[in-house]
Chains A and B, each alone.
Chain A
Amino acid sequence: MAYRTVAGSQTYAFADLKDLMAKATPLRSGDMLAGVAAATAEENVAARMCLADVPLRTFLNEALVPYEEDEVTRLIIDSHDALAFRTLSHMTVGDFRDFLLSGSATSEVLATIAPGVTPEMAAAVSKLMRNQDLIAVAKKCRVVTRFRNTIGLPGTMAVRLQPNHPTDDPAGVTASILDGLLYGCGDAVIGINPASDSVPVLSELLKLIDGIIQRFDIPTQACVLTHVTTSTEVINRGVPVDLVFQSVAGTQKANASFGIDLATLREGREAALSLNRGTLGDNVMYFETGQGSALSANAHYGVDQQTLEARAYAVCRPFKPLLVNTVVGFIGPEYLYDGKQIIRAGLEDHFCGKLMGVPLGCDVCYTNHAEADQDDMDTLMTLLGAAGVTYIMGIPGSDDVMLNYQSTSFHDQLYLREVLGLKRAPEFEAWLQRMGITEPDGRLKTQRGSHPLLAAAPELAA
């Protein structure tokens, strides 16, 4: 079905819903690369005006990616909660924005409607929202998950401790973990991106992190971010696995380029659940996403990258993940060109995820060929902190020496806690105090002499 609108002195026509969605998207390099972006600034606004009048029900009848060809579309349509959608069923996209910003959309109401919100609806309304709207509404959404601690409570922000090392050297990885813990990081997960994909190396890393968690009784979880089928294999060999990781995207074809489908994810989750290692809850999955992944796999169906990203959260949702994060600036300037585009995308992703009931965190990051720097990251992390982001990354000095990109540092989370008053997951906060790492107010204690945690690195003590 075609869409038309008059803006200024011109009539604009849009071939179909996905054309309208793409042209309504705030400008970014990935949509230009795909050839789906609006040609002019006026066309972009015309598309938004037109989109504002589209009834939300349209998204249940007009699939952007064909139902017959794509299991993600089938998942979205077949599992749609009509009861949860009832409140929204009479609204247009524009009405939806007004409703979300209104006092009627309380945290409780937003939690109730979440299963009725499809990713296309979330993406559509986000295209009509300014950055402050994305922050204000996301802030009201509550998504709480549990494994060995409680993540996502109001007023908290967790941190993934990311102790990557270029050769997976155990002493080097241990050093980064201890540094991170002593800076009060690690409540989301202690999660490493391994350089290797060999099962013996991955098994050793899992045992290493699990050893530290067990020895000091840390209320957190471990993860080695490797392919879901590799995690399943490692579990079958009796290695301790807390969380099963996988990168996911918004179309079946893009997921196939990652070597997965929904069935593979189900198997991974069942394998993790079979170990029954969570003490407070059974959220055992950890997913990563990022705008542009479908286009880079040539699996985008002419749909804009932000809508496809929201569809990735629909892939995550049924697997009840502990953590999902958008690795927002990692993919490069051909998808998100500069700080402005990265900041916008980070806020959109966080908003869409939260609106859909997914525990969204953000890898606030950039590569050296993007037009971005630490100041842009400071801006994005501060905005996300205000928006109630579930978690961010903690990387020594912002410099990931294995993946060659810059993310948020151990220091950055301290800054956010200081200026925004954000606490850690309560169980982890209590542990830090018990260990003498933080003061009762959550601030770091000045360490003099050797801390007991450093005993985890005996070979370093000599």
Chain B
Amino acid sequence: MSEPAGEGDLTADSVSEAPASEGAAIEGAAIEGAVIEDSWRRLAGVTPARIALGRAGTGMPTREVLRFALAHAQARDAVHLPFESARMAGDIAALGFETLELTSAAPARDAYLRRPDLGRRLSEESRALLEARAGAPVDVALVVADGLSSTAIHAQAVPFLTAFKARIAEAGWSVGPVCVASQARVALGDEVGERLKASACVVLIGERPGLSSPDSLGLYLTFAPRAGRSDAERNCISNVRGEGLSHELAAFKLAWLLKEALARQLTGVSLKDESDLLLVGGRPPTARIGERDQSVTRRSFPAG
């Protein structure tokens, strides 16, 4: 709706009764001046922040309101789209991993969001499933958890695991079944890792979606996983996605941390990610299967 031209034109009737040609002229002028563009638009090139949007009166222009609404819709969908657990398990099995489908104690999304504690515990059925499967101890347990973004897992889990599989082969680690877990939070991996007798647990999880990053994957590494571990005892690699940290680089960093964790028998605040020192021109060295690189594991660290 265009604004009425003056006090005398406040009723809809008086507008509609205006001669057609005059009405069209008012409308045209109103639309032309409605959006005030910002003269500093070129600043927008140096930041992802939504600057220099222009304005319609005091509000955002229609195009910006819709652009924002779309980003919010994508972030909302990332939280609420059903997790395709069976499809993910199939895709991961096709990479050559054994898989298991697990559920947390949170029966549905609503309960998951209200009760973080339920998302950190296994359902009774999944506990039984793991008990039946547990075999010999392994170096690492892998958990693929929907977390707060099933979109992230759908998009990033397979390409990341493809990259990480090469690192596993290079290091010669034994892995348990890849556990695809629904309605899961990071700490669910503690119980999974413990039951699979794993020295360390890696949880791939959908991160809390941002407006410009609905599909971001987080990686959490915990040495000696067992129920009750605190977040200070984990290492985290965040923002794994197309526009963020690449799958290759994330796999390299995780492998570096895992090697250190197994060698030093710890994860958390006292294990700092220094894998950047090994990058060549910002890229990770290629995985060399069969040649175990001992130099990293044997590096000495200051005490503390």
Contacts and interface: CB of A to CB of B under 8 A. Distances in A.
A460 B115 contact: no
Contacts of B208: 332, 367-369, 404
A411 B60 contact: yes
B39 A450 contact: yes
B58 interface: yes
A185 B269 CA distance: 39
Contacts of B57: 418
Given A165-B49, A337-B114, A454 B60 contact: no
Given A334-B113, A396-B50, A397-B68, A368 B75 contact: yes
Interface residues of B, number: 43
A237 interface: no
B45 to A, nearest CB: 8
A5 interface: no
Nearest to B119: A334
A367 B50 CA distance: 17
Interface stretch (A89-97, A167-175, A210-218, A300-308): A167-175
Contacts of B209: 368-369, 404
- The SS class assigned to the A binding surface is mixed
Contacts of B52: 179
Interface in B32-46: 36, 38-40, 42-46
B64 interface: yes
Interface in A393-420: 395-399, 401, 404-406, 409, 411, 414-415, 417-418
A59 B75 CA distance: 44
B43 A457 contact: yes
B165 interface: no
Interface string A438-462: 0000001011111100100100100
Interface stretch (B210-218, B249-257, B291-299): B210-218
Interface in B42-79: 42-53, 55, 57-60, 64, 68-69, 71-72, 75-76, 78-79
Interface residues of A, number: 50
Contact of B211 (A169, A406, A417, A448): A406
Given A374-B68, A418-B58, A175 B39 contact: no
25 contacts: A32-B114, A33-B116, A33-B117, A171-B46, A172-B46, A172-B47, A173-B47, A175-B47, A175-B49, A175-B51, A178-B43, A179-B52, A333-B114, A368-B79, A397-B60, A399-B50, A401-B211, A404-B210, A409-B50, A411-B53, A414-B55, A417-B58, A446-B36, A450-B39, A460-B46
Interface of B: 36, 38-40, 42-53, 55, 57-60, 64, 68-69, 71-72, 75-76, 78-79, 113-117, 148, 208-214
Interface of A: 29, 32-33, 163-166, 169, 171-173, 175-176, 178-179, 182, 332-334, 337, 367-369, 373-374, 395-399, 401, 404-406, 409, 411, 414-415, 417-418, 444, 446-451, 454, 457, 460
